[in-house]
Amino acid sequence: MINWYLKFLLIYSLILLLNPINAEILNNKVPTPKKVPVTFEAHGVKRVDNYYWMRDDTRKDTEVISHLESENKYLEGWFDSGEDLRDKLFEEITDRIPKKEDSVPVRLKSYEYFRRYEPGNEHGIYIRRKNKNAKEFVLIDVNELADGSEFYQLANWSISPNEDLMAYAEDTTGRREYNIKFKNLNTGQTYENRLSNSSGDMAWSSDGRYLFYVLRDPETLLPFKLYRHEIGSSQSLDVLVYEEKDPTFYLSVGNSRSMQFIEVNISSTTSSEVRLIDSESPEESPYIFLKRESDHLYSIEHDPENNRFLIETNWLAKNFRLMAVDLKKSSYKDEWNELIPHREDILLQSALAFPDHLVIMERKNGLRKLKIITKKDNAEKNINFNDPAYSAYLAANPEYYSDKFYFGYSSLRTPDSLFSS
């Protein structure tokens, strides 16, 4: 089966080749920026940058803006003559897509959550319900939020522990500077207070009184400050919980799947560190799970039924291994217990904990493998994929206390599909 995306590229390329280009555009010269040599020297090596003058961090240099506008105008001229064919092609392709489509419902506590696309809408509608036969409740219609905006992205959203409040992060500029807003799901009211310039990450305290979020550096956009926000208060009153001073590291925050901890992940290319806050004691300082070490990457997964944390680590294991430890002993690697050893031909990629099972994602011979391990007897069950080449992944599995997990699968003969096991 020929992938529809490849078909699209082929047809679109033919349109560009066969469609007559605006003669005025062909006669115009390609906008070419001037060269102003600037020499840089580092590590004893000199480098000349002819276009350094175009760097404009203020986004206000009229000469740079004028050149970019001329490039955009030139590009538009190339594509103007093919507009009718593009519209026709777009309609032909979209006619093959279901006009109304619901995502697979995912349960979180009392509700099932899913996204719906309706005919003529560009964005999704987020909905929840008690069960498939219950009344549906619209959380947010992104089409309404995006109305009148040249750009709109809903980056993230999260429901408070009492299920009455929704926090969602939106970007209206395209710079990934997200504003977090709050909506009362009982009244439908969106609060006036919002959290500006965030990374979009968020985590709740167990009582729903506080939301933790990460602030970006206004110039570099690096997420580097963790704040605690009290719902209903002004952002100016938010408390700085942690600031990362090393610009090679960046912050992210989220709730553990058990909802018992707020996880603060501090990461660079070759090193990582996790700090934890008890969600029932949100005003306490973060606890360091294990201090960062050079060339040591690790991530954790809370497994409350076994009173432990799972650790995916490359400590003495270039392809990672799975270990476990009690929180009180997490700072001492000698106390970590090995669950899955390092293997030379298999890369450990992810581990999810459930009350009775572990779900493991690995990569071997370039292909991802999924397996279920029963905690009681360590029995393993592989999820078999019959295609010789495919893509598999763990889908959203937000709830620890669940009797099923979701995974995605696609191949050249199987469209992207979601399954549960």
Is the pLDDT at 5 greater than 80? The verdict is no
Length of the chain: 421
Highest mean pLDDT pick, 66-80, 94-108, 285-299: 285-299
* CA 313/CA 270 separation, integer angstroms: 12
Average pLDDT of the chain is: 92
Half-sphere exposure of 275 (CA within 13 A, CB side): 19
For helices 4-18 and 83-94, angle between their N-to-C axes, nearest 10 degrees: 160
Q: Is the per-residue pLDDT at 4 higher than 70?
A: no
Summarised one tens digit per residue, pLDDT across range 275-331 is: 999 999 999 999 999 999 999 999 999 999 999 999 999 999 999 999 999 999 999
pLDDT of residue 87: 87
Which amino acid would we find at residue 378? N
Where residue 82 falls among pLDDT bands split at 50, 70, 90? confident
Question: Which residue bears the tokens 């003495």?
Answer: 316
Burial call 66-90: b when 16+ CB within 10 Å, e when fewer = ebeeeeeeeeebeeeebeebeeeee
Q: What is the mean pLDDT of residues 152-173?
A: 97
Per-residue confidence (pLDDT) for residue 302, from 0 to 100: 98
pLDDT (average), residues 126-142: 97
pLDDT above 90 for 15: no
The pLDDT score that the predictor gives to residue 215 is: 98
Q: Which residues sit opposite 359 in a β-bridge?
A: 352, 372
* Residue 127 to residue 114: CA distance in whole angstroms: 6
Strand order across the beta sheet in which 210-216 lies: 153-159, 165-171, 178-184, 195-204, 210-216, 223-230, 239-243
Based on the number of CB atoms within 10 Å of its own CB, is 37 exposed (0-12), middle (13-18) or buried (19 or more)? Answer: exposed
Q: Are 245 and 226 in contact (CB under 8 A)?
A: no
More confident: 238 or 75: 238
What are the sequence ranges of the domains in the chain?
4-94
Give me the pLDDT at residue 272, please: 98
* pLDDT tens, position by position, 181-217: 999 999 999 999 999 999 999 999 999 999 999 999 9
Q: Which residue has the higher pLDDT, 367 or 27?
A: 367
Which is more confident, 371 or 95?
Answer: 371
Instruction: With a cut of 90, say whether residue 28 has pLDDT above it.
Output: no
Average of per-residue pLDDT across 173-185: 95
pLDDT of residue 9: 57
| Average of per-residue pLDDT across 71-100 | 84
d(C-alpha 408, C-alpha 420), whole Å: 9
**pLDDT for the residue 1:** 39
Mean pLDDT of 241-255: 98
* Structure tokens given for 400: 């620890």
- pLDDT for position 2: 41
Q: What is the pTM of this model?
A: 0.84
Pick the range with the lowest mean pLDDT from 97-106, 233-242, 338-347, 384-393: 97-106
C-alpha of 297 from chain center: 19
Average pLDDT value for residue range 363-372? 97
Average the pLDDT over each of 19-23, 35-39, 297-301, 350-354 and give the range with the smallest value.
19-23
DSSP 194-237: -EEEEEEEEEE-TTSSEEEEEEEPTTT--EEEEEEEETTS-GGG
The per-residue pLDDT for 8 is 55
Higher pLDDT, 1 or 148: 148
Per-residue confidence band for 59, with pLDDT thresholds at 50, 70 and 90: confident
- Has residue 117 got a pLDDT over 80? yes
pLDDT score at 95:
82
